[in-house]
Amino acid sequence: MNTRLEVESAIKQLPEGEVRDLAKWLQEYLNEMWDRQIAADLASGKLDRLIAQAEADIANGNVRDLDEVLRNG
């Protein structure tokens, strides 16, 4: 299988349980990709400015509790 369309066609032929298992695997794979990207961005310094801003906001009290944010939508 070399193309997305071939993969899609093969998936459509799977039983529902296997499709659900594949979906779970794919989400885990995407999560791992995301984790690797965040780690790479952190190591390269791409997130330094954002981290510094967050730390400054915390130090200056410019933050709200997550519970407050969630309650107020």
Mean pLDDT by 10 residues, the chain (73 residues): 92 98 98 98 97 96 91 80
Q: Which domain holds residue 62?
A: 4-71
Q: How many CB atoms lie within 10 A of CB 41?
A: 13
At 62 the pLDDT is 94
Domain count, the chain: 1
Q: For residue 72, what pLDDT is reported?
A: 84
pLDDT attached to residue 2: 86
Whole-prediction pTM: 0.70
The answer to whether residues 15 and 24 touch, using CB atoms and an 8 Å cutoff, is no
